[in-house]
Chains A and B, each alone.
Chain A
């Protein structure tokens, strides 16, 4: 069975290149008339049926029964359908690749939209430290530095709230404490 499929595959290649003899084509037509063919060749079933019943140049005497495709004139219609079939076959990897890319992109978008879950690396990206000429932007390594900075920020924010509340009260002299010149 495997050997037969290999032969058929070879014939299909020759057929699509327009190099098959009439006897080889009949072999293909007989094969594609059967119900059980590999799924990857299903798309060729219609094309084979077309050539078997459509042009029939072998029977019409255009080509000798056992002539090779080399010296004989090519059949334009078969070439068009063969090209279409060949294009479809060649498109399969491209279609598969684009499906994979679409799935990957959708997964990336989905993961990006999810909350950071408290991971330091995600919401603190872009942080860095410069100390004694050494630059470090590895967020995982800067965990302690980030904690210190965020604690400092909380203290400053509390102070800011207090000062803004005082400013909003509009009490005289609240904008500057003792010793500060205006």
Chain B
């Protein structure tokens, strides 16, 4: 009984802590989640580039640039949904849709994060610049 009470308390605490996260911390999670799951699962078919730039003095990562391009209609659909969900909280937005082409840029400030996506039919090109 005591162990069950502890487990319930732990889960409740985690849920409470998660609900207290600032909106910006949760906002990009849809986009980040789709990308990380896809890269993990589809190593054989995509072109993925992750470049970090470090502070020369501290050697800490100052900026990360991620680029992904792949021919995957399902990924395109998931990313469009993620962008449309996350844009509600973005500090800067520019999205256009023309026929089968969807281009969207979302920006969060402090810390700055820039996400950009181009979906053209089955073709998906995703870029992100993340500052730390």
Contact = CB atoms under 8 A, between A and B. Distances in A.
A167 B92 contact: yes
A180 B97 contact: yes
A125 B51 contact: no
Contacts of B112: 160
Given A123-B56, A180-B94, 11 more contacts: A123-B55, A133-B45, A145-B51, A149-B65, A156-B105, A160-B107, A164-B107, A167-B91, A167-B92, A179-B98, A180-B96
Interface of A: 112-113, 115-116, 122-133, 135, 142, 145-146, 148-150, 152-153, 156-157, 159-160, 163-164, 166-167, 175-180
Given A112-B59, A179-B98, A150 B92 contact: no
Contact of A177 (B48, B52, B95): B95
B9 interface: no
A119 B31 CA distance: 33
Nearest to B54: A123
27 contacts: A112-B59, A115-B56, A122-B59, A123-B55, A123-B56, A126-B61, A127-B50, A127-B52, A130-B48, A132-B44, A133-B44, A135-B43, A145-B49, A148-B49, A149-B65, A150-B51, A156-B114, A156-B127, A157-B114, A160-B92, A160-B105, A163-B92, A163-B107, A164-B109, A166-B92, A176-B93, A180-B94
B18 to A, nearest CB: 27
B67 interface: yes
Contacts of A125: 52, 54, 59
